[in-house]
Structure 1
Amino acid sequence: MATQYGIAGTTAKGIAASVERGVAEGTLSPGAALPPVRRLADELGVSAGTVATAYKELRQRGIVVTRGRGGTVVAAAPAVASRRPPKVPAGLRDLAGGHPDPELLPHLVPPSRLSPGARSHRATPRVARLEDAVRDWLGPDGVPAGGVTFAHGALDLIGRLLSVELRPGDAVAMEDPGYHHLLDLVTALGLRTVPVAVDEEGIRPDALRSALRAGVRALVCSPRAQNPCGGYFSAERRDALVEVLQEEPEVLVVENDHASAVAGAPLHTLTSGGLTRWVHVRTVSKFLGTDLRWAAAACDPVSLARHDGRMLLTSGWVSHLLQETVYGLMTDEGTRALVARAQETYELRRTTLVGELALRGIAAAGVSGMNVWVPVRDESAVVNGLRSYGWWVAAGARFRLLSGPGVRISVAELEPADAARLASDFAAVLGESEATYGG
């Protein structure tokens, strides 16, 4: 509890710094309640307004959240202490990480021609031939690729865009359940998340319309391989979503196509619908290598200028060595063949598990990508139950806002021969859970 940590300070900034220090050191853990404003003011001998200002600053910076009558508590993923996944217990089969199969990734070979000497790339931040390769990559999928830019991964690019476009307290429509690092990022930027329900065709038009009416200024979504549920936009769903978005043309639409080449589903992109403000982001970590922290994005002219203007003042550019490495892999025929095999392999592993679960009466979602989402009544009971059988899966709590409980199973390294055993163990765990808690 917060009462075990002595919050200090006589000014709003001092009080905020004291709380931040407690969070960074781990003394104030996620969910810990801070004292009510008036009580802390009395303890510190300051005005209630001073404490309220400190709490407001902490909220804007994503360190604490306010829960109405529940008071002010440390955020689940405070901006000063990154939330890391639980450590996989020894001896368990890890199906929680969401990483690609290392056997299906190419060997990374740095370019032989290194960047000569010390010089600035600010005038030409992007390797021209990689720009051309990106346009060739995006164009056939219907993404307008006139203006492209690069960043150090999708989170880097999305975080920069949202920080330029929005201000603390602004609302962002987010998939629910959705990618936990994006949910954490939005909170860390001091923005409000507005949940948008998803199904096997991605975000639902009715839920999006409700979010727009709530005043969101941006939407972040996945057109395929939605994490954690594996949905993807059909052409009909894309058209329905574009129709809704055209009602609010100034809303920034960020489309995160993180799995692209191994998604196992066609791309029906929102960016082809004539929207005013849009960004389509792609990364390569799922199929070229997890250490390739590089993202490409096609943007409308305003978003492109704002992103690149901010990047110019911060990191400046993405390493040309990294760009040359990505270009070499993207244009290598052997790598292309390996990526195609990876896409087929992930599809087989995903569909096999979904099918084995269905044979045992267990409904699961996962029509694209490398994750399967299984709705359950008690996440902890299922996670701990599967642990006793030697499996480690991800509890759904970190992916959810208002949606129901579930667990995420990453199938990238789950051979079809093992899927039947996992499904049988899953059914046994559900049976044990019902026996314990009632059917």
Structure 2
Amino acid sequence: MATQYAIHGSTAREISASAENAVAEGRLQAGETLPPVRVLAEALGVSPGTVATAYKELRRRGVVVTRGRGGTVVAPAAVATSRRPPRVPEGLRNLAGGHPDPAFLPDLVPPDRLTPYALSHRRSPRMPELEELAREWFRRDGVPDAQVTFAHGALDAVARLLSVELRPGDAVAVEDPGFHHLLDLVQALGLRTLAVPVDDEGMRPEGLRAALTAGARAVVLFPRSQIPYGARVSAERREELLAVLAGAPEVLVVEDDGGAAVDGGPLCSLTTAGERGPARWAQVRTVSKSLGPDLRWTAMACDATTLARHDARLLVTSGWISHVLQETVVRLLADPATGVLLAAATAAYDERREALIGALAGHGIEAHGRSGLNIWVPVRDESAVVNGLRSRGWWVAAGARFRIASAPGVRITTAELDAAEAPRLASDFAASLTDAPETYGY
């Protein structure tokens, strides 16, 4: 076995160090199988226990992963570049970004000075006023608020949770089609994605069951305003998902409720089921869709174990969330004008999304989007549809970067699309399909 000559040493520390160096230098490649413990022990003249200890250290450091009968293999490299959106061509109406309408975002005015307790960041990492506002926010939807903490955006929180709970090579169940940045993140952490199909009511139970059977140790889902499909979990679907998760109490369930502040529909969260809910859970809520994409603050409610692990890692990394940022959020949330803006945004986003879905339906075109800022339109050829709309002045997102194994589609952000514009876009969409009907199947 060639790989055994890339590893040397007489102690567990020397063996693990030589294997890690071989990986770093490229002499051992991602996916390459290491020798079985007894084979390497015989080759090096050491006990199997010494090699087993070395392999355990390599697994702990994320250098290798164990795949049952597949043996111990070098962990996949962390690469996260394939799902980034292309640059928007000049002169086109951009409906591909997934961003809120700036007209409904308040002005961000940071404080000119901090309150005295904010000067002691580690002793007071969370402003009491903002922590109470966060608890009320969760409490209104029935989400348990006994443990609440903060993070720098939803992906920051999810990355920290997955990093402390899982090891490279572990599997995460994710929605398909799903949030492209999350798919990048899972890969960057050296974790495996297990695709779970979604429909208008969220994750499909049979897909989640298959992912858990395949070894998923965490599940990440959107209970509403799902990206890119626009799904919202129904009460019936919640019960079905809870029944599946009942057989996997050790699995961490993470909900990203990023559209909470501007989604007027009900929240059917897995976290609100009391004793029937998951034992290990977290729900994260951002203000990027309601107060502004550049306001990188997230509230997270979770169980006690998850809180302790998240905050322990936060303490030794960024330490705390900027109190300038926290004071800015407090001021905005306490301002009655912000509430008026959020109410107007909620109504407008619903109207604009439903207007386009209805206009497309008038042309016999199926579209999905029960909630959120986007709709998903199934197509046969994404590139042809994107280019057809481009020739008519529109820029929409090809679905490839959101998909793992699901069928093709395009995502259209409706947040800035006035309802009066929906008929023209739907007509142009239909024309793009009829340009080559044999390609699209319409």
Q: Which residue of 1 aligns with 2:324?
A: 321
2:420 to 406, 412, 417: 417
Q: Which residue of 2 aligns with 1:29?
A: none
1:126-178 CA distance string (max 9 Å, x none): 00111111111110201000000000000000000000000000010000000
Separation in 1, partners of 2:272, 2:363: 41
Q: How many residues align?
A: 389
> Counterpart of 1:217 in 2: which secondary structure?
strand
> Is the Cα–Cα contact under 8 Å of residues 260 and 282 in structure 1 kept in the other structure?
yes
Compared with structure 1, are the counterparts of its residues 319 and 36 closer, same or farther at alpha carbon in structure 2 (3 Å cutoff)? Answer: closer
> Is the Cα–Cα contact under 8 Å of residues 61 and 189 in structure 1 kept in the other structure?
no
- Map 1:131-210; keep pairs closer than 5 Å: 131-210=131-210
Amino acid at match of 2:431: A
> Counterpart of 2:237 in 1: which secondary structure?
helix
Separation in 2, partners of 1:382, 1:12: 49
Q: 1:412, CA displacement in angstroms?
A: 0.7
Q: 1:212, CA displacement in angstroms?
A: 1.1
Q: 1:240, CA displacement in angstroms?
A: 1.5
Compared with structure 1, are the counterparts of its residues 332 and 386 closer, same or farther at alpha carbon in structure 2 (3 Å cutoff)? Answer: same
> Counterpart of 1:279 in 2: which secondary structure?
strand
Does residue 343 (structure 1) correspond to residue 346 (structure 2)? The answer is yes
Separation in 1, partners of 2:438, 2:211: 40
> Counterpart of 1:282 in 2: which secondary structure?
strand
- Alpha carbon RMSD of aligned pairs, Å? 2.8
Amino acid at match of 1:434: P
> Is the Cα–Cα contact under 8 Å of residues 254 and 279 in structure 1 kept in the other structure?
yes
Compared with structure 1, are the counterparts of its residues 135 and 436 closer, same or farther at alpha carbon in structure 2 (3 Å cutoff)? Answer: closer
Q: Which residue of 2 aligns with 1:405?
A: 408
Separation in 2, partners of 1:14, 1:419: 58
Separation in 2, partners of 1:314, 1:178: 28
Q: 1:112, CA displacement in angstroms?
A: 3.6
Q: Which residue of 2 aligns with 1:49?
A: none
Compared with structure 1, are the counterparts of its residues 359 and 438 closer, same or farther at alpha carbon in structure 2 (3 Å cutoff)? Answer: closer
> Is the Cα–Cα contact under 8 Å of residues 172 and 191 in structure 1 kept in the other structure?
yes
> Counterpart of 2:216 in 1: which secondary structure?
coil
When the two structures are superposed, what TM-score results if normalisation uses the length of structure 2?
Answer: 0.82
Does residue 371 (structure 1) correspond to residue 374 (structure 2)? The answer is yes
Compared with structure 1, are the counterparts of its residues 110 and 119 closer, same or farther at alpha carbon in structure 2 (3 Å cutoff)? Answer: closer
> Is the Cα–Cα contact under 8 Å of residues 115 and 320 in structure 1 kept in the other structure?
no
Q: 1:187, CA displacement in angstroms?
A: 0.6
More divergent stretch after superposition (390-399 vs 267-276): 267-276
Q: Which residue of 2 aligns with 1:382?
A: 385
When the two structures are superposed, what TM-score results if normalisation uses the length of structure 1?
Answer: 0.83
Unaligned ranges ≥5, structure 1: 1-10, 20-33, 39-52, 63-67
Q: 1:124, CA displacement in angstroms?
A: 1.4
Separation in 2, partners of 1:237, 1:438: 31
Amino acid at match of 1:387: R
- Map 1:254-333; keep pairs closer than 5 Å: 254-273=254-273, 274=275, 275-333=278-336
> Counterpart of 1:90 in 2: which secondary structure?
coil
Q: Which residue of 2 aligns with 1:8?
A: none
> Is the Cα–Cα contact under 8 Å of residues 118 and 124 in structure 2 kept in the other structure?
no
Moved over 3 A (4+): 11-19, 34-38, 81-84, 115-120, 435-439
Compared with structure 1, are the counterparts of its residues 14 and 392 closer, same or farther at alpha carbon in structure 2 (3 Å cutoff)? Answer: farther
Q: Which residue of 2 aligns with 1:30?
A: none
Separation in 1, partners of 2:143, 2:102: 30
Q: Which residue of 2 aligns with 1:110?
A: 110
Q: Which residue of 2 aligns with 1:44?
A: none
Q: Which residue of 2 aligns with 1:360?
A: 363
Q: Which residue of 1 aligns with 2:122?
A: 122
Compared with structure 1, are the counterparts of its residues 35 and 237 closer, same or farther at alpha carbon in structure 2 (3 Å cutoff)? Answer: closer
Separation in 2, partners of 1:317, 1:432: 54
Q: Which residue of 2 aligns with 1:243?
A: 243
Separation in 2, partners of 1:216, 1:82: 23
Q: 1:415, CA displacement in angstroms?
A: 0.7
Q: 1:13, CA displacement in angstroms?
A: 6.0
> Is the Cα–Cα contact under 8 Å of residues 148 and 298 in structure 1 kept in the other structure?
yes
Amino acid at match of 1:158: V
- Map 1:73-92; keep pairs closer than 5 Å: 78-79=79-80, 84-92=84-92
> Is the Cα–Cα contact under 8 Å of residues 96 and 394 in structure 1 kept in the other structure?
yes
Separation in 1, partners of 2:359, 2:320: 47
Q: 1:84, CA displacement in angstroms?
A: 3.3
Separation in 2, partners of 1:97, 1:162: 26
Amino acid at match of 2:151: A
> Counterpart of 2:384 in 1: which secondary structure?
helix
Residue identity over aligned pairs, in percent, reads 61
> Counterpart of 1:190 in 2: which secondary structure?
coil
Compared with structure 1, are the counterparts of its residues 143 and 437 closer, same or farther at alpha carbon in structure 2 (3 Å cutoff)? Answer: closer
1:86-130 CA distance string (max 9 Å, x none): 110000110000000111101111124336699541121000111
Unaligned ranges ≥5, structure 2: 1-17, 34-54, 65-69
Q: Which residue of 2 aligns with 1:213?
A: 213
